[in-house]
Chains A and B, each alone.
Chain A
Amino acid sequence: GQQLNQSPQSMFIQEGEDVSMNCTSSSIFNTWLWYKQDPGEGPVLLIALYKAGELTSNGRLTAQFGITRKDSFLNISASIPSDVGIYFCAGQATIQGAQKLVFGQGTRLTINP
């Protein structure tokens, strides 16, 4: 079935550094979504991408929908302590005639002040 490979699984960085994470798949997706989950809370939508090649920013976050429709990346510039959390990619695809949403395993971001 559809699977997303999200990497890296975890990152340990210094405050102020830029962060980059990505999701890849052997399957084509129609939509890419990036969520962030703070400790003790549910995931919150950060960015939604609806078109191949689309590049979208939300403050210090930038995400792109890959041209092949099989990948997406998320960049965070000038990281700050509140960026700590788990970041999930999610891809929407048609599987057996139905629209499905598939999640990656998550990237756990830890920031040293």
Chain B
Amino acid sequence: ETGVTQTPRHLVMGMTNKKSLKCEQHLGHNAMYWYKQSAKKPLELMFVYNFKEQTENNSVPSRFSPECPNSSHLFLHLHTLQPEDSALYLCASSQDFSGWVSPLHFGNGTRLTVT
């Protein structure tokens, strides 16, 4: 496998459920990102990890909890979500995040629906 792989592709969950999104990159990159994509809005940066350390939390509610066990894997743990959290969640990676944001490589996203 190459590139950035996200699973699952689609997820429907109730507001009381707990679920996790998974992202894996095979590009040898050191920085990984979670973005939220809602209709007719710019991509919203949620979290950044650089060399496994979280370097940015863009005022994301605590019901979203990221985890980066190594430079190749990134998780987004979800619990007690709200219907307005329904969106496409995109994972991305880049060479590094050392003051020069190198071009991002995106996964195909997880389409999340909160009922």
Contacts and interface: CB of A to CB of B under 8 A. Distances in A.
Given A40-B108, A42-B4, A42-B108, A4 B103 contact: no
Chain B contact surface mostly: loop
Interface string A100-113: 11111110000000
Given A42-B107, A43-B106, A44-B106, A103 B100 contact: no
Contacts of B43: 43, 88, 103
Interface string A68-107: 0000000000000000000010001000001111111110
B15 interface: no
Interface residues of A, number: 23
Contacts of B108: 40-42
7 contacts: A41-B109, A42-B6, A42-B107, A45-B104, A45-B105, A92-B101, A101-B104
Interface of B: 4, 6, 40-43, 45, 90, 92, 97, 99-101, 103-109
